[in-house]
Structure 1
Amino acid sequence: MERSINMNNEAELLLSPSRTVKSYTKPNDRYHLVYLIFIFLGMACLLPWNFFITAEDYFRYKLRNTSLPEDMHYTKSNQTLNQRLFVSYLSITSMATNTVFMILTTLFIRSIPINIRMITSILIITVVFIETTILVRVDSDEWQHVFFILTLSSAAVVMAAVSVTTGSAIGLSCLFPVRYTQACMIGQAVGGTFSALARIFSIMGKGSETDSAFGFFLTASIISLLSLVAYGLLYRLRFSKFYLSNQIHAIQNSDNEIPAYKEIIGYREYITSIFRKIWSHTLCCFLTFIVTLSCFPSICSTIEPMHPEVNNDWTNLYFTPVACFLLFNIGDLLGRVFTTFLPKPSLRHKHVFLFLSILRVVYIPLLLYCNTGSKNIPVYFDHDVYPMIFTLTLGISNGYLSTLSFMFAPMNVPIEQAEGAGVIMALSLTMGLTVGALLSLWFLTI
């Protein structure tokens, strides 16, 4: 049975000896366990970053001016230098570390076995989150600067491990039928939605900053441990063994099937040969995440209710968590799920992906012309429903285009290059996030 799926009668593009498996030996994914495992692995990849961002109030509390009353340390005029700089430093440190280690993952994909990459990175994430959870209950008022550096260092280590986990998990999913790559992408959106809901529930519970953060980081520690168990289970299922053994068989017999691989090629040639086949999908993913990170969460989180004088919980507590974080993540999840049944551009029509990715640039002015509080930009969209619609559709388009890019990329390469294609796509995602985050800093100064 052909490993790839039939999309818009493109099967002839996907047929190759290395992707053909014998139908009578193919087991079923019983109870969709492998599909659920990839959803869980995708969720575990994104949760660490989301929980660090979700616990922003906790970090501001830890870095507060302890000489002031408890109800005054949130106002901008009373913020300490560490409070003002923390989120920016956290973003820059995390993105820089993520980018560097994603590049290293791409370079060393063929020399470090995936088991070592996955198990080591997940264990590192778990250990750091346990340490972060313990720190929640430690009084750090007397050594705030040390806490500041320690937290940024922990975030850097976590994001380094996350980059390895993400690249390896996506690369692994590319060895399976294309719907399992989709499952990994859906899992990432589930992680984002989960963290957004956790933030809202913590507000509803009216607990202290430390209690909420303790719950966030303890949950992250448990999910990291469970993801390690799920990864181990993956290799014990007959369905997984079938596709993984088929991939190994394809590599061992690549001399007979693919003449270009008669000799061992270096890393540069290996990566270049893959990139030439998937460059359009890589560029689509890169552009998609540049636009997304330029808008979310930087611009979206600065949008304020049009009538802040209405003193109620919606304007004071729930507007940003719902209108920004929850709606974007729900839209992102919907967009990734939509790839299952909505019409998809043909594999031959690569320009459609690029056109749609470039078209999303329109979201930047649309959101800037909402009530961002900027003195230099007029407010054209003067109702709260406008930014909510823009944020929701920003998430839907992000999820839809990014997932299709990740689904189509491995379909353009032979199976022995599928993992490499997945890692390269993960690198393009990371580079897009980094460039978008840097551009967002400039947009915020307008």
Structure 2
Amino acid sequence: FISGHALGGLFVIICSIISILLSSHVATSATIYFLIAIVVIISNIIIYYFLEKSHLFQIYTSAIQEINNRYEPLFHESLSSSSHNDNHITLSITLLATRERLFVAYKYTKWNFYGIFLTFISTLSIFPAYLSKIQPSYPSINSSNILWTQRLYVQVMTFLLFYIGDTFGRIISLKIHIPSLLYPRLLFFICLSRFIFIILFGFCNFPNTNGYPYLFKNDFIYALLVLCFSISHGYCYSINMIYAPRRVYPQLTSTVGALMIMALIAGTFVGSLLSYGVVAIYGDN
């Protein structure tokens, strides 16, 4: 799950680049792109059909079910059984218990919750809305290859580098745990510090009309910024997702997982809205 999102995006952008390289016509490239998508979907359905029947899959799903049965809290059932004569009372008690679970989970994982929330706000506020408008700098700006400057530059320098860095950041989070589980506030401030990228990318070759200074006049600087930006996104998101369930009892891990997904969705929503403001501030023409 942690690296699947990034790998999915990486696969999509590779398919997009292939479709552009195979044809210079936009309609033909789009057709190739969607044909690849159809082939992938059909192949996934076939693979899943045979995988579900495999012995390894059966063992894995049985083990997961056994773990869920072992750690799933039983107080919902006890509350429901004591009031089964009144469905409305049962429902209200169950909802109250759910709120209590969420409150306890939030109490112990709030720094991870806000870390994920801020990570996605800082990312979605400039990617892809702002970064997709960055134009070639030196040496690409002097290139006579129109295919590179007009169609492939953004695909490679922005999207491909982002998903490579995002995937790498998620992978290294499985091996490197800095800061440790004991310093959730420090991890939160690291996530908060990613907002500096909004300022740094403003110095790149963006077609602005508000007079913002154009300082980073080299493609390699932009590529380095994209890699740092994407690696930090993948790492901050993954390390928070890894730490959060460890901060509570096993009975609350599923609740914590749902809470972290809420932070992800909320951060994505807020970041997407802020992206309009970021583009407007820099003055898109």
Q: Distance in 2 between matches of 1:317 and 1:252?
A: 54
| Structure 1 residues 417 and 431: CA distance shift in structure 2, 3 A | same
Post-superposition Cα deviations, 1:143-191, rounded to whole Å, max 9, x if no partner, equal xxxxxxxxxxxxxxxxxxxxxxxxxxxxxxxxxxxxxxxxx11111110
1:427 Cα offset (Å): 1.3
- The aligned residue for residue 82 of structure 2 is none
1:214 Cα offset (Å): 2.6
Paired residue secondary structure (1:400): helix
Matches within 5 A, 1:111-150: none
| Structure 1 residues 276 and 232: CA distance shift in structure 2, 3 A | farther
Confirm or deny that 1:195 pairs with 2:37.
Answer: no
1:310 aligned residue (129, 143, 147): 143
Q: Distance in 2 between matches of 1:432 and 1:197?
A: 26
Question: May I ask how many residue pairs the two structures share in their alignment?
Answer: 256
Q: Which runs of 5+ in 2 are unaligned?
A: 77-92
Post-superposition Cα deviations, 1:105-162, rounded to whole Å, max 9, x if no partner, equal xxxxxxxxxxxxxxxxxxxxxxxxxxxxxxxxxxxxxxxxxxxxxxxxxxxxxxxxxx
Letter in 2 for 1:396: I
1:216 Cα offset (Å): 4.3
Paired residue secondary structure (2:194): helix
Q: TM-score, normalised by structure 1?
A: 0.53
- The aligned residue for residue 21 of structure 1 is none
- Bigger RCO of structures 1 and 2 (CA < 8 A, at least 6 apart): 2
- The aligned residue for residue 330 of structure 1 is 164
Confirm or deny that 1:428 pairs with 2:263.
Answer: yes
Q: TM-score, normalised by structure 2?
A: 0.81
Letter in 2 for 1:422: G
Bigger mean CA deviation after superposition, 228-237 or 288-297: 228-237
| Structure 1 residues 225 and 251: CA distance shift in structure 2, 3 A | same
2:201 aligned residue (367, 391, 396): 367
- Do the aligned residues in 1 keep the contact of 2:14 with 2:160 (CA within 8 Å)? yes
1:236 Cα offset (Å): 4.4
Q: Distance in 2 between matches of 1:334 and 1:230?
A: 30
- The aligned residue for residue 300 of structure 1 is 131
Confirm or deny that 1:268 pairs with 2:99.
Answer: yes
| Structure 1 residues 188 and 229: CA distance shift in structure 2, 3 A | farther
Q: Which runs of 5+ in 1 are unaligned?
A: 1-183, 256-262
Q: Distance in 2 between matches of 1:362 and 1:354?
A: 14
Paired residue secondary structure (2:125): helix
Confirm or deny that 1:379 pairs with 2:214.
Answer: yes
- The aligned residue for residue 52 of structure 1 is none
Q: Distance in 1 between matches of 2:170 and 2:67?
A: 28
1:388 Cα offset (Å): 1.0
Q: Distance in 1 between matches of 2:188 and 2:18?
A: 38
1:229 Cα offset (Å): 4.2
Q: Distance in 1 between matches of 2:34 and 2:46?
A: 18
- The aligned residue for residue 186 of structure 1 is 3
Q: Distance in 1 between matches of 2:127 and 2:36?
A: 21
Q: Distance in 2 between matches of 1:272 and 1:231?
A: 39
- Do the aligned residues in 2 keep the contact of 1:200 with 1:321 (CA within 8 Å)? yes
Paired residue secondary structure (1:305): coil
Letter in 1 for 2:260: M
| Structure 1 residues 211 and 387: CA distance shift in structure 2, 3 A | same
Paired residue secondary structure (1:304): coil
Paired residue secondary structure (2:111): helix
What is the root-mean-square deviation of aligned Cα atoms in Å?
2.5
1:209 Cα offset (Å): 3.8
- The aligned residue for residue 250 of structure 1 is 71
